[in-house]
Chains A and B, each alone.
Chain A
Amino acid sequence: MTNEHTPEMQEAQQLLQALERSSGLSHDQAQELLPAFVEAERSGEDVDSLPEYAELLRHLDTCGTCMEFYLSLTGDLESLAETNAPIPMSPIPSGLFTPTPVAEPLPKAKRAELFARDQLENRAAVHEITWNTLAQVAPKQPKASLVKLDLLLDKAAQGQISSGSQGQTAFALGEWKFVVQVVVPLVVDYLADTLWKWRVNTVNGLAQTGVIPELSETRVHDLLQQAGFRLDHEQTQNLTSAINQAVRAFLDKEANA
């Protein structure tokens, strides 16, 4: 009778098994287990011997995404326990991160719609911000663009602003379509989102808080993509900067009024 487990056999087969085995966990399942795993590991538990983590450990041996997630998580927790000076950041007003009292946050589209209905009745904010934005991105044609602005705001108030069709390519920034399909939805959505996050009801209220929100280029890119538009990098940059300047100018004026 032969020995079923010669040392040579064991070594080569152990390695082959380690290389070929896969875990039964999905990324989401593995990542759900990671906080408890990391907690146990940091508390000195011998997690490698605990059956409840065996599947997770097999997954980590084969999954770069989840290994990266594990490293990020342990790094985040280690950074809490460092004693060197924290990374500097601009002051952030209190209350910004407290969730709203509503049980479920409203979906973004719903918030934008409510904002359009309830807060745009005098239309001053969106009108002025849109005007100033277009004056910067399309200085030669702002009047042509804004001829239809009141009509657009009627639509916004009824929640009927079209977000455009998929696959639109960039077009002249002063064209009225651009106002209809890009600038107004962008301004409405951004303001609605900002007001929700800062827990104020009106743009004038936002001005009183002294907050100067800043729309990031990433966000504009994201919103444009959601609406199905493709602007090149420079156009996106210009539009972001123009909206930010217009919002700041409006808030300054309101705060000083």
Chain B
Amino acid sequence: MNEPSSDDLRTIWQQLSRRNEWQLVDDEEDFLQQVAAQWRTLTKVKTSSARNRLAVERTYAARLCEMLRRRHDRAWDELGQAFVRTALRASVPQPEAVELAQSACVGVWERLPTLKNPHSLFSYAFKIFRTVWREHRAAIQHEEPFRSTPEGTLLDDPVDERNLTSEAEQQIVTAELLALLQAALPNSRERIVVLRTAILQENPRDVARDLNIPLTQARVDKYRGLARLRGNPRFMQQLRDLVGEVVESRGRHSDDQ
């Protein structure tokens, strides 16, 4: 696909602008041409839907960035309200959400001059917002408004019930290692992700694609699986023993020769 569908881009633009109350575009045709130009640069995005959305988002981010630099009230309203909505989704009361958003806007203002790529504005801005939020939580030492404490509920996620019998497991030569992993990681998806990414050194992107899960999920599964194994002293000892045995048997084999 070498050229975007202008109708598709227009539809996506209208959906996103409605949802996010993006109002900084006066000349829609000109803007959509910029979106199409951005779309052509995103050659590595796999699905056309994701490519369209990203093209709109990145083009609007550049527009927003330009207006923020000019201290345009509407631009700051839009960014501030995006922060407020994010906090509201985590059930933070609106007055507190507004305070957080204001502090984050000051942070964005201070760092705008160093932002090299205006198309990346949203990821930089949300990073600042999340940092402000985390510092705020640390300062007041209140209950976590986020989904989890990192080591806590990050480890507690519904188990994937699919039968994920994997070829990867059959590729494991060491039956003993496989048995250890199966005992320590009963969640088959976590086990397969750890096995393929940490042992077989496969790319998480390929693993995510094969398991039909988002890449972020594959990364979380890997983190969770490794954390679970690290937190299991018995497994760690058995693994070290296994590595030791392999070394020893290799040594014996060498001596015999």
Chain A interface residues toward B at CB < 8 A:
2, 6-9, 11-16, 18-19, 31, 34-36, 38-39, 41-46, 48-49, 60-65, 67-74, 76-77, 79-87, 89-90, 92, 94-99, 101, 105, 197, 213-216, 218-219, 221-222, 225
Contact = CB atoms under 8 A, between A and B. Distances in A.
Contact of A70 (B73, B140, B194, B216): B216
A218 B226 contact: no
A185 B94 CA distance: 24
B150 A68 contact: yes
23 contacts: A2-B253, A8-B174, A9-B247, A12-B243, A14-B200, A15-B177, A16-B239, A35-B123, A35-B126, A43-B42, A43-B45, A43-B54, A44-B46, A48-B204, A62-B226, A73-B123, A77-B126, A87-B88, A89-B85, A90-B94, A97-B79, A97-B105, A197-B102
Contacts of A82: 19
B44 interface: yes
Pick the 4 closest A-B CB pairs, nearest first. A64-B150, A97-B80, A44-B44, A18-B198
Interface string B7-31: 0000000011001110000000000
Contacts of B63: none
A92 B74 contact: no
B54 A71 contact: no
B223 to A, nearest CB: 5
Interface residues of B, number: 95
A67 B201 CA distance: 20
Contacts of B82: 80
Nearest to B134: A69
A67 B150 CA distance: 8
A81 B57 CA distance: 7
B102 A11 contact: no
Given A14-B201, A34-B127, A81-B53, A86 B216 contact: no
A76 B86 contact: yes
Contacts of A65: 150
B123 A77 contact: yes
Nearest to B96: A216
Q: Is the interface of A mostly helix, strand, loop or mixed?
A: helix
A14 B199 contact: yes
Contacts of B16: 80-81, 83
Nearest to B112: A99
B84 A89 contact: yes
Interface string B58-87: 000000000000011110110111101110
A15 B246 contact: no
A15 B199 contact: yes
Given A44-B44, A87-B88, A98-B73, A64 B227 contact: yes
Interface in B189-208: 194, 198-201, 203-205
A99 B71 contact: yes
B250 A67 contact: no
A92 B84 contact: yes
Nearest to B15: A83
Contact of B130 (A11, A14, A49, A76): A76
A87 B81 CA distance: 11
A101 B73 CA distance: 12
